[in-house]
Amino acid sequence: MSGNRTFTMIKPDAVESGYIGAILEKITSAGFTIKAMKLTQMTYRDAATFYEVHKERPFFEELVTFMTRGPIVAAILEKDNAVEDFRTLIGATNPENAAEGTIRKLFAKSVGENAVHGSDSDENAEIESRFHFSGREIF
Ligand code: UDP
Ligand code: MG
């Protein structure tokens, strides 16, 4: 996978609130093409592995509990400069600090329950995509 792809999740808070359609509309309107997508639910082990980089952080248990409490939408997105442009589209981790019009400003509840994930590098986009999708699920 080249540098024009990123990985996202619509997190349980946003799925519970009925925001899947509105968030996908923001994503596709911003020029991203969906290359893979599914509704799924992570196990404790899945979420602990996915967020392993944060395992020493004080919010780790809360994060894993939150991310496993209901379904998520996992997706691979394509656009020029995908990783950076998607991070701009979603806004800051804490919605209080997110720019107007960003997905987190519009849909996030708190720094923990912040509606969406976006990969932070091309390397992590590849790792996270492979974590959630097999080759034949990716277009
Ligand atoms: N998180 C949290 N408390 C914090 C920081 C982060 O609960 O103080 C959660 C939040 O859901 C965030 C995720 O942990 O999206 C991963 O944190 P990271 O710093 O990687 O933020 P992101 O890359 O998602 O903006
Ligand atoms: Mg991150």
| pTM reported for the whole predicted model | 0.97
| Ligand 1 near 63 CB (within 6 A) | yes
Q: Rounded mean pLDDT of 15-21?
A: 98
In 12-98, DSSP assigns E strands to 33-40, 72-78
| 51-59: long-range contacts, CB 8 A cutoff, minimum separation 24 | 59/112
pLDDT tens digit sequence for 45-93:
999 999 999 999 999 999 999 999 999 999 999 999 999 999 999 999 9
At 4 the pLDDT is 97
What is the second-level CATH architecture of the domain 5-132? 2-Layer Sandwich (3.30)
Q: Whose CA is closest to 91, among 81, 83, 101?
A: 101
For residue 54, indicate whether it is catalytic: no
- 4 CA from centroid of ligand 1 (Å): 23
Please give the Cα distance from 15 to 36 (Å, whole number): 18
**Residue 1 above 60 pLDDT?**
no
